[in-house]
Chains A and B, each alone.
Chain A
Amino acid sequence: MCGATTGGLSVEGIDITKESVVQGVVLRGQQPVAGAYVRLLDSGGEFTAEVPTSVTGHFRFFAGPGSWTVRVLAPGAEPVDRSVVARQGAVAELEVAI
C-alpha cells in the first residue's frame, strides 16, 4: 500500500499528538487478510467503530486514551478478541492472527 511502513500504516499527515491511535494487521498464517472486519469495543464491551482491513490486511482507529478490545470477524474464521491500551500521542500496534 502506498505510504505503508514496515510494521504498520503510515501516520503521515495525521497530528498524532492529538490522537490515540490503535492500528495493526490481520494475519491468517503469515498472510495478511484483506476485507476482514475489525471492530473496536470500549471498556464496557460496547461497539465504538468498525473498519474493513485494507488490501495489506491493515486497520486503524482513532480511539481515546484507555482500554479497548479489538474484535476481528472474517469469512471462515471464529471471531478473535484482543485487548489493547491506547495513549494520547502514541500508536498502539497489534498483530491479530485468525
Chain B
Amino acid sequence: MSRSDVLVDADWAEAHLDDPSVVLVEVDEDTSAYDKGHIPGAVRIDWKADLQDSVRRDFVNKAQFEQLLSSRGISNDQTVVLYGGNNNWFAAYAYWYFKLYGHQDVRLLDGGRKKWELDSRTLVTDVRDRQPTTYTAKEQDTSIRAYRDDVLGAIGSLNLVDVRSPDEYAGRLLAPAHLPQEQAQRAGHIPTARSIPWSKAANDDGTFKSDEELTALYADAGVDLSKDTIAYCRIGERSAHTWFALHELLGQSSVRNYDGSWTEYGSLVGVPVQLGDEAGNPEGGNG
C-alpha cells in the first residue's frame, strides 16, 4: 500500500470535487464548523451524534452505521475522503472507524481543514443534495481496536504509546488545553507507556511528516516496531491520528487504537497509574 492510497493532498481533492466516485466527508469536534463553510460537495458526519451510541459508551452498531452511510448517500464502491479541524483528529478517528466497519477505499485529506484554509481555498455553505444509497458494512475488524483488558495486559510487555501532550502525560493537565481542566478521571499515564505526542507526527500546517521522519520518530522514542503496539490519548481521536501514521503510512500490521483511552483508564478502580515525565515501571507510582 502506498501513501497515496490512504492520503491525498488538497490539489487532488480539488481536482475530484465533481468526481461521482469520490465523496468528501467533514468530521469535526466543533460540529458547527461545517455550517460556517465546507469544501464544495462535502458531507458532514458528526463524530458524536452519528458515530457514538446515544445510550451506552460504544460505537453505533453495524446496522446503524449502514443506515448512517445510506442516508448520507455514500456507497460501498465510492472513495471516501475524510477531513476536519483539529489537525484531522476527528477525521482520523472516522477513518479508523470506516476501516473498522470495512470500507474499502477511505483516505485522509492531508492537512485537513486547516491546510485548506491556510491555502485560502474555496469553502461554501450550501449543502449538495445526495441520493440515499444502500450501504452494507462488514462486521467490526477488532484487530485494530484495543479494549481496557488488552491495555492492562500490555503494561510492561507490548508498546504502549501515549500521544497526548507532555503535560497530560505527566499529569499536570487533564485534557487538551482548549478544554476546561476540571475532569473526573485521575491524572497521569499508563505505566510503561512512551510519550510520543501526536503532534510530532505532523507539521505545523497539519500535514503528516514523511515516512522517513515518522520512522525515525518512533524508533528514537524507543518503540520496538517488531512488537504489537497500542496507542491511546484522552478519548481516542488523537491516537487514531497516530494509529493512521503507524498502521496506514508506515504499514505496521499490529497496531490498535484504544478508544476508551484516558477517560476510561483514568477512571478504573485499582489499576496502576504513573505520574511524571518518566514511563515508569508496571506498578506505577508518583514520579
Contacts and interface: CB of A to CB of B under 8 A. Distances in A.
A19 B178 CA distance: 11
Interface of B: 85-87, 114, 117-120, 165-167, 172-173, 175-182, 197, 199-200, 204-205
A75 B167 contact: no
Contacts of A71: 204
Contacts of B114: 37, 52, 73
Contact of B177 (A18, A49, A76): A49
Contacts of A42: 165-167
Nearest to A15: B182
Given A44-B166, A64-B172, A73-B118, A50 B86 contact: yes
B85 A75 contact: no
B166 A46 contact: yes
A47 to B, nearest CB: 4
A14 B180 contact: yes
B117 A75 contact: yes
Contact of A75 (B120, B175, B176, B180): B120
7 contacts: A14-B180, A46-B197, A47-B165, A48-B176, A50-B178, A63-B173, A75-B117
B199 to A, nearest CB: 4
B197 A73 contact: no
Given A46-B166, A75-B119, A64 B173 contact: yes
Contact of B204 (A15, A75, A79): A79
A18 B182 contact: yes
A75 B200 CA distance: 23
Nearest to A60: B178
A76 B173 CA distance: 33
Contact of A48 (B87, B173, B200): B173
7 A-B pairs closest in CB distance: A47-B199, A49-B177, A48-B165, A49-B178, A61-B177, A51-B178, A75-B120
A34 to B, nearest CB: 9
A37 B165 contact: no
A49 B118 contact: no
Interface in A51-92: 51-52, 60-64, 71, 73-76, 79
Contacts of A35: 117
B86 A75 contact: no
B38 to A, nearest CB: 13
Nearest to A55: B36
A15 B172 CA distance: 18
